[in-house]
Amino acid sequence: MKQFFSVADVDDLRGIVEEALRLKKDPFAFEDLGKRKTLGLVFLNPSLRTRLSTQKAAIQLGMDVMVMNMDKDGWALETRDGVAMDGKTVEHIREAAAVMGQYCDVLGIRSFPKLQDREEDYSEGLFKKFISFCGVPVVSLESATRHPLQSLTDLITIREHWQQDRKPKVVMAWGPHVKALPQAVPNSFSEWMCKAQMEGIVDFTIAYPQGYALSEAFTPGATVTNTLEDALQGADFVYVKNWSSYEDYGKIHPVSEKWMLDNGKLALTNQAKVMHCLPVRRDVELASEVLDGPNSLVIQEASNRVWAAQAVLKRMLEQLNKR
Ligand X SMILES: NCCC[C@H](NC(=O)CCC(=O)O)C(=O)O
Ligand Y SMILES: NC(=O)OP(=O)(O)O
Rounded-to-integer distance, Cα 109 and Cα 129, Å: 11
Rounded-to-integer distance, Cα 143 and Cα 23, Å: 26
Residue closer to ligand X (CB basis): 170 or 240: 240
Length of the chain: 323
Stretch that binds ligand X, among 10-18, 195-203, 252-260, 277-285 (CB under 6 A): 277-285
Asked whether 218 and 191 are in contact (CB, 8 A), the reply is yes
**Residues 210, 272, 293, 262: is their CA dihedral positive or negative?**
positive
Residue closer to ligand X (CB basis): 128 or 281: 281
Residue closer to ligand X (CB basis): 48 or 267: 48
Shortest CA distance to 23 belongs to which of 301, 319, 277, 304?
304
* Partner from ligand X, ligand Y, none contacting 194, C-beta within 5 to 8 A by type: none
Feature table: binding site for N(2)-succinyl-L-ornithine: 142, 177, 241, 281
- Residue 166 within binding range of ligand X, rule CB under 6 A: no
Stretch that binds ligand Y, among 127-135, 159-167, 169-177, 271-279 (CB under 6 A): 271-279
Binding pattern to ligand X, positions 236-275, x when CB under 6 A? ----------------------------------------
- Residue 316 within binding range of ligand X, rule CB under 6 A: no
* Partner from ligand X, ligand Y, none contacting 182, C-beta within 5 to 8 A by type: ligand X
* Partner from ligand X, ligand Y, none contacting 181, C-beta within 5 to 8 A by type: ligand X
Tell me how far, at minimum, the Cβ of 217 lies from ligand X, in Å. Answer: 18
Figure out which of the listed residues 207, 277, 297, 312 binds ligand Y, where binding follows CB under 6 A: 277
* Partner from ligand X, ligand Y, none contacting 48, C-beta within 5 to 8 A by type: ligand Y
Q: How far is CA 155 from each of CA 74, 101, 121, 136, 183, rounded to the nearest angstrom?
A: 34, 31, 26, 27, 18
Rounded-to-integer distance, Cα 77 and Cα 108, Å: 17
Size of the site for ligand Y (CB under 6 A): 10
Tell me how far, at minimum, the Cβ of 83 lies from ligand X, in Å. Answer: 28
Rounded-to-integer distance, Cα 139 and Cα 309, Å: 9
| Residue 170 exposure: Cα atoms within 13 Å on the Cβ side | 26
Binding pattern to ligand X, positions 130-149, x when CB under 6 A? ------------x-------
- CB burial of residue 288 (10 Å; 0-12, 13-18, 19+): exposed
- Residue 67 within binding range of ligand Y, rule CB under 6 A: no
- Residue 49 within binding range of ligand Y, rule CB under 6 A: yes
For residue 140, list its beta bridge partners. Answer: 109
* Partner from ligand Y, ligand X, none contacting 184, C-beta within 5 to 8 A by type: ligand X
Binding pattern to ligand X, positions 169-188, x when CB under 6 A? ----------x-xx-xx---
| Residue 20 exposure: Cα atoms within 13 Å on the Cβ side | 29
Chain residues in the site for ligand X (CB under 6 A): 142, 179, 181-182, 184-185, 277, 279, 281
Chain residues in the site for ligand Y (CB under 6 A): 47-51, 142, 150, 277-279
